[in-house]
Every structure is written in C-alpha cells, then in structure tokens.
Structure 1
Amino acid sequence: MSEKIRVLFVDDDENLLNAIKRTLRKDLDIEIATGAIDGLRMLDKNGPFSVLVSDQNMPKVDGATFLAKVKKHFPNTVRIMLTGNSDQHTAISAINDAEAFRFVNKPCRTSQLLEIIKEAHDHHLQLATEYSVLEETVAGSIKLMTDMLSMAYPDRFKRTMLVTQWAEAACKALDIEYTWELKTACALWPIGDTLLPEALAAKRNTQDALTAEERQTVMAAGVSASEMLGNIPRLQGVARLMLMTTPAGSMMAENKKPGPDARLLQILIDLSRCVDPSGPIKINAAFNQLVKNINAYDAGIFTALPPILKNVGKKKEVKQLHEITAGGLCEGDLLTTDLKDDTGKLILASGQVVSETAANTVSRLYSSGAISMRMKVMRNTEPAAA
C-alpha cells in the first residue's frame, strides 16, 4: 500500500486501545477513541477515516447504536464490530441497523483483523467511487432542471432565487439546518407549478381565491412533482420535503408534523407568490397578505421572519452596469432588464443570474437573428466587445 489505511478504533478499554495501536501502527494510520461519544468527536474533527472498528459492550452507548449513528453521519466510513459477545441479536443489530461490514468475535488474531481491515478499505474505495459518480449525476440532473426552469419559466425561476436567498438567511438566524435537501428544494419547488395550466398558475401567484376544483388540481400537481423528483437518485429527501410544504403532504404524512425546514419553506414559497420579483420586494406587504391564512403556518417562524428577510438581497456583488447585445451575454451576468425575442416572448427575466446554458442558448438565438434588442446587465469585470 502506498499510503496507510486510516482506521479509528473505539473501545472503553484504554489499555486495549493502546495495545492495538502499538501492534498495528506499522501497518495502519491509527487513531483511538475511548467510547462512542469520543469516537463521534474524533470522526468529526480528525476524519475522514476509511475504516472504523468498534467494540460492542461499551457504557452509555453500545457499539451497535454507535455504528448506526456513524452510518447516518459518516456513511463512507466502513464499519466493523469487534466484540466478545457472540449472541445472535447483537450480530443482527450491528449488521442490519448499522450495516456493519463485518462482525468479528474477540479474541481475534492480529493478522486476521488486519486482513479484514484491508477488505473494508477496498470496500470504502468502491463506495467512494460510486458516491462520486452518483454526486456528479445528481448535480447534473439538478443543473438541467434549474436551467430548464430559467429558460422556460423565467418568472417562476426568479421566485426560486428569492426563496433560496431567504432560506439561507432565515436558517442562519433561526438555527435551522440549511441542508443540501432544503437548498435543492428551494431551487426546484416551482416544478409543481409547471404541471398546471398557465392560467391557474398565474391565478395562484396573484393570491386570488381558488375554487375547490382548482385546489384539487394544485394539490395533484404538487404530488406529481414530488413523485417525479423521488425517482431521481438522492432526491428522495428533496421530494419528501417539497411534498410536506403542501396540504397534500400534510394529509399523506399520517399526522406527522413537518420538520422546521418544511415549515419554513412553506412560508417562503407562499411569500414569494405575494411579491413582484421584477420590482422592489416589499416584505411587510407580502406578510400582510399571508396573515389571513396564519393558521396554516408555524406561528413562531412566521412572526420571526419579517425583520430577518427585510434586507436580504439588497447588497449586490456585481459592480458595473453594462449595455450589451444578446450575443455578449456571459455566465454570471445579472440581468437588470427582461430579455425578449423579436416576437415579444420573454426569454430571461430581469433579476436572474445567467447560467452557462442560458448564455449559450441566447448566443445561438442572437446569431440566428431571433433577438435584436440590447439589454443591461451587472457584472464584475469589463465586458468583451459586443
């Protein structure tokens, strides 16, 4: 091996841990932790580790419970149970609940343990490769969907940018975890709206009262959008979160209360429907529109949000205003005017940060003569000649 395998040993017997470290330190890069709590701290501060070897019979938190926590928070660390307890229940718990790679009884020969650790490391490398491929696939799927939203539904895409900015600020202020699932849900929630007839989607955004039939249609669209996302690897959590922001989700959850992330997202989505994303964002006026339905929201989060969101997005990272042709549009430009083709169709909405895909699409439209208007954008650097 060109590099030593990083292994964390966890046991309540400090003398045993020191003995293991002395015996195996020539072959492995070893860290030790006395008990489960110290083990979690070590994983968090000194990780990542390829392999974790834990004893079962530890005070306060037993090995099976500890490994289950490790599986949740450090899934790529391969887990081995090392114990003198050979009862079947312990083995089943370690393998099923914690997905332990091996269940090894004490005493175990050093050579045997070392061989198992090497096998676990090989499994870790395989998991890491699969995870990397999956991450790239998921990231590409999300980018495709957001690019499609930005081009096909620019007005709705502007609302996702508002919700994303608001969510980040609110989570920081309210001590709600700003998870990857929440961030992704902020970007993709209008997918349900794209399944609605255009007139109904527009009516919903004006906060006009919906008929009973229209509410059923909206509910069905939300369920369908969640099911569509749930079919994409790693987006099942995003799909559940989006569903829980809707009345349909609450009904399907069998009286389980939505988490704080879902309760926050529900308010922010509805709030985005009460503002004109192309103009000044009047937060207090928007909240005044939602007050009539206050019973539908988490009252604590609702009342805390207005001062938090009041100044979100007012600072601009871009510095200079430029007037360009559509052919000069660049990735990262912030549109200050709507971009329309020569038939008057809206292509990109003002307030949108241009993606690479959008810039390339607009460039092709400009080259074909479909867009002749000039536009204004904000950007940090001097533009190329357009």
Structure 2
Amino acid sequence: MNIKILIVDDDTNLLDSMRRGLCRRYNIVVAGGPDEALKTVKEQGPFAVVISDLRMPGMDGVRFLEKVRDMEPTTVRMMLTGHGDLDAAMAAVNEGSVFRFMTKPCPAEILIRALDAGIAQYKLVTAEKELLRGTLRGCIKVLVDILNLVSPEAFSRGERVKRLLMALSKRLGLTNTLKLELAGMLSQIGMVAVPQDIIFKRFRGEQLTPEEAQIYRMHATVATTLLSQIPRMNDVGEIIGNQLDCFTNPEIARLPEGAVYLNLCLEYDDLDLLGVDKEAAIESMRGKWAANFPLVFKGFEEMVFSDDGFVPRLVPFKEVRVGMILRQDIFDDSNLLIMAKGQEITEIALLRISKMRESFKLPDKMNVLVPLQAI
C-alpha cells in the first residue's frame, strides 16, 4: 500500500521544517495553500492523511477538508493550527470530520503519534472497503452464475442489456456508471423464479395468459428482494424493480434515471429478439420515448445506428475466440439450449462448448459478431 501524507499550510518555512523533520519516517508531500492542495489530491492522491492549517487565504482549513472528504472519503483528515479556540475545533470535527485537532507549535512526538494513528485508521478503513468490494463481487458472480445455469436465455438477455446500457451511458456522457452496469447484468436475476416455458413464450413474442403474465412480471420483485440482502445494492435494486414498462407507472417522473434507461434498452431488446431490424425498431419506439424522454431517446437512436465495433461473420468453430458475441442460439441433440444469442464468448464459455462438442453434434460453424480489432 502506497502510504502518502499531504501537509497544507501557507507558511512555507513551517512546511519546509515539517518536511525535513518527517521525511525519513513518512512519504511527505507539501502544498502552499488549499487550491494547490486540491490539485495535488486530484493528481497525486489518494493520500492516507491530510494535515491542514486552519487559517489560510481564500479558503479556511475546515472548508478545504470538507472538499478533501468529498474527493477521497477514506483519507484521514487532521487540523494543525495556531488558533486553538474551541469553536474552530468543533467546526473542524463536525463539518470536516477531522480525526485529530492539534495546535502550533506541536511537539514532534505528539505529531508522530497522531500520524501513526491516522495511518492505522486509513489502513483499517481501506481494508474494510476492499473486503466489502470483494464480498459484493462474489455475491454478484454467484447470482449471475446461477442464472446462467438455470436460464441461459435470461442470462443472455442480461448481457445484451448491459452492453446496451454501457453504450448508451457513453453516448450520453454519463459518469459513475457502475450501478447501471450492475442493473443491466442483474436485471433478469428474478427469472430464477419463473418457469422456463413462460420465459420461452415471452422471449419469442408469444401471447401469455393472464396467469402467465402475472408470474412473469413478478421477476422484478424477486430480483429486488434478492438484491436487498446484499450491502449497498439498494439503488441497483430500485432500478431493477422499476424495469417493467415505465409508461404504465403514474409516478414516471419520479422514476430513477437508471430505470428509464433500463426500460428503454429492454424494449429495444424485445424487438431485436423478434427479428425486427434497427430502423423499424426505432420507429416503433419513437412516439412515446421521444415525447417523454427526448434527449435520452436521441442518444439511444444515435448509439444504435453508430458503428458498434463488431462485424457479423460465420466462423468455423476452431476459429471462435474470446470476445466474439453469438448471433444464434446453440442447442444440443435433445434440443436443449446450451448458449443463447447475444452471449459473449468468454474463456469459460469457449471451454464449455468445446467439451460439449465431444458429446453432442454442434454446428461446424458459428454465427458471431467479431470485434473489428480482431479482423
């Protein structure tokens, strides 16, 4: 772990003194004011500890440390000032979430103890964050793997919708798209509770009975319930829970933006599954989408007709590579679906169909989308 400490003060003599006194023990970076420090945090961060003076021109230390907290929430923040009044200390602790408040001149042993405690706190927080991130990844992987085993069609739909969402996000210039990516990937996870015959009928555009339609629609609720058990997945669950035709929702204006994007991509995928070409699909969607979400639909239309970086090819099986995308369903001799249209060829998927070819008669050639960079 790269442990760095940033010290911020408009007194250059003090900065030089602190750097000389601490550089043998810590990796010290200094900044002569809040503006310079914020640029340093952006360009050289993250820092384990940031120590700031309280009284600085342009921006006081409390406001500066608030900005540091917004930029790097795990950074431990400390205040070192010659103005040791109670009000300043309270503001620093309450508004800037300051870990330590020290006054000048600060004895070296006190400063070192504070820095060691701050570094220990930083390591603890980052370790917990990494543990949570690993747990989250593991939970998501298990859910997706289960869906792939139970319903390849639903898994494939989730993969297609995820790609549409990511392409739309890029076209709209969205940032922090992780929630959207997860929403697309997990949008069909509730299908584990839907019988396969109903999924087959729905994805092939066949008319569902009222009872079947009710069972199918419950998959969004099932998904939300499953995801509610995973920490920090509430926002993703809310997006997925509102995926079923947002135009029937009287609260459409209050829907999360992610739910609108997901609805749009799912509706397009429905038409694509039925073999509707791009032009006809976009025209059939234009009326309601352009009227209610004109900017979003404009971006989606541009995305659909832009070069997506793939070309269709009929490829001999021995030339199939990781990164290609299936344009056909693959069945075994008993007509059991092995891989569904739209699924990306991963190392595991390639190994699976290679093994299946030893026991079942699979096509000699596969209809795939090949990345342009692979041609």
**TM-score, with structure 2 as normaliser:** 0.77
Flag the 1:349–1:217 CA change in 2: closer, same or farther, 3 A.
closer
3-state DSSP of counterpart to 1:228: helix
Identity level (%): 28
**Cα offsets for 1:86-130 (capped at 9, x unmatched):** 436853x65566544333344422321122112221222333333
8 Å Cα contact 1:151/1:348 also seen in 2: no
Q: Matched residue of 2:271: which SS?
A: coil
Paired residue for 1:322, among 316, 323, 333? 316
Work out which of the residue numbers 264, 278, 302 in structure 2 matches 1:283.
278
Which of 333, 342, 359 is the equivalent residue of 1:342? 333
C-alpha contact (below 8 Å) 2:150/2:192 kept by paired residues: no
Q: Aligned in 2, Cα 1:63/1:337: closer, same or farther, shift over 3 Å?
A: same
Q: How does 1:52-71 map to 2 (within 5 A)?
A: 52-58=50-56, 61-71=59-69
Corresponding position: 1:229 with 2:227: yes
Residue in 2 that maps onto 1:120? 118
1:358-377 matches, cutoff 5 A: 358-359=349-350, 369=359, 371-377=360-366
Give the equivalent residue in structure 2 for 1:264: 261
Figure out how many residues of one structure are paired with residues of the other and give that number: 368
Higher helix share: 2
Is 1:274 matched with 2:260? no
Counterpart-to-counterpart distance in 2, 1:39 and 1:219: 52
Match in the other structure for 1:384: none
For 1:230, give the aligned amino acid.
S
2:302 aligns to what?
Answer: 307
Residues 219 and 247, structure 1, Cα contact 8 Å, conserved in 2: no
My pick for the range that moved more, 289-298 or 129-138, is 289-298
Deviations 1:151-195 (A, max 9, x none): 433333333333333333333332211522222222111224444
What is the identity, as a one-letter code, of the residue corresponding to 2:269?
Answer: S
SS where residue 350 of structure 1 aligns?
coil
Asked whether the 8 Å contact 1:284–1:306 carries over to 2, the reply is no
Per the alignment, residue 8 of structure 2 pairs with 10
Tell me how far 1:74 sits from its aligned partner: 2.1
Cα displacement (A) at 1:204: 5.8
State the shift of 1:137 in Å.
Answer: 2.8
| Distance of 2:133 and 2:36 partners within structure 1 | 30
SS at match of 1:347: strand
- Cα 1:335/1:257, change in 2 over 3 Å: closer
Residue from 41, 46, 49 that aligns with 2:47: 49
The AA in structure 2 aligned to 1:274 is L
- In structure 1, distance between residues paired with 2:29 and 2:160: 45
Counterpart of 2:138 (choices 132, 135, 140) is 140
2:198 & 2:59 partners in 1: Cα distance? 54
Letter in 2 for 1:343: S
Once residues 243 and 36 of structure 1 are traced to their aligned partners in structure 2, the CA distance between those partners, rounded to angstroms, is 43
Do the aligned partners of 1:147 and 1:357 also contact (CA within 8 Å) in 2? no
The residue number in structure 1 matching 2:73 is: 75
1:162 counterpart residue number: 160
Cα distance in 2 between the residues matched to 1:158 and 1:8: 48
In 2, Cα distance between equivalents of 1:58 and 1:303: 47
Aligned-partner Cα distance in 2 for 1:112–1:374:
73
Distance in structure 2 (CA, Å) of the matches to 1:211 and 1:104:
71
* Partner Cα separation in structure 2 for residue 283 and residue 235 of structure 1: 33
Aligned match for 1:173, one of 167, 171, 174: 171
CA RMSD in angstroms comes to 4.3
Return the alpha-carbon distance in structure 2 between the equivalents of residues 266 and 53 of structure 1. Answer: 47
**How far apart are 1:142 and its partner, in Å?**
2.5
* Amino acid of the structure 2 residue aligned with 1:104: M
1:42 deviates by 1.2
The amino acid that maps onto 1:264 is: Y
Describe the shift of the 1:21–1:330 C-alpha distance in structure 2 as closer, same or farther (beyond 3 A): same
Determine if contact 1:185/1:238 at 8 Å carries over to the other structure. yes
CA distance in 2, matches of 1:239, 1:358: 28
Name the residue aligned to 2:344: 353
Structure 1 Cα separation of the partners of residues 221 and 154 of structure 2: 19
Q: Matched residues in 1 for 2:141 and 2:157: separation?
A: 17
Distance 1:197 1:60 in 2: 64
| Unaligned runs of at least 5 residues, structure 1 | 381-386
Change (3 A) 1:117 1:296: farther
Q: Do the aligned partners of 1:205 and 1:274 also contact (CA within 8 Å) in 2?
A: no
1:87 equivalenced with 2:90 (yes/no): no
User: Could you say which residue in structure 2 is the equivalent of 1:111?
Assistant: 109
Sort the Cα spacing of 1:322 and 1:208 in 2 relative to 1 into closer, same or farther, 3 A: closer
Task: Report the Cα distance in structure 1 between the residues aligned to 2:104 and 2:243, rounded to whole angstroms.
Answer: 50
Counterpart code for 1:157: F
Q: Match for residue 288 of structure 2?
A: 293
Instruction: Check whether the contact 1:64–1:98 (CA below 8 A) recurs between aligned residues.
Output: yes
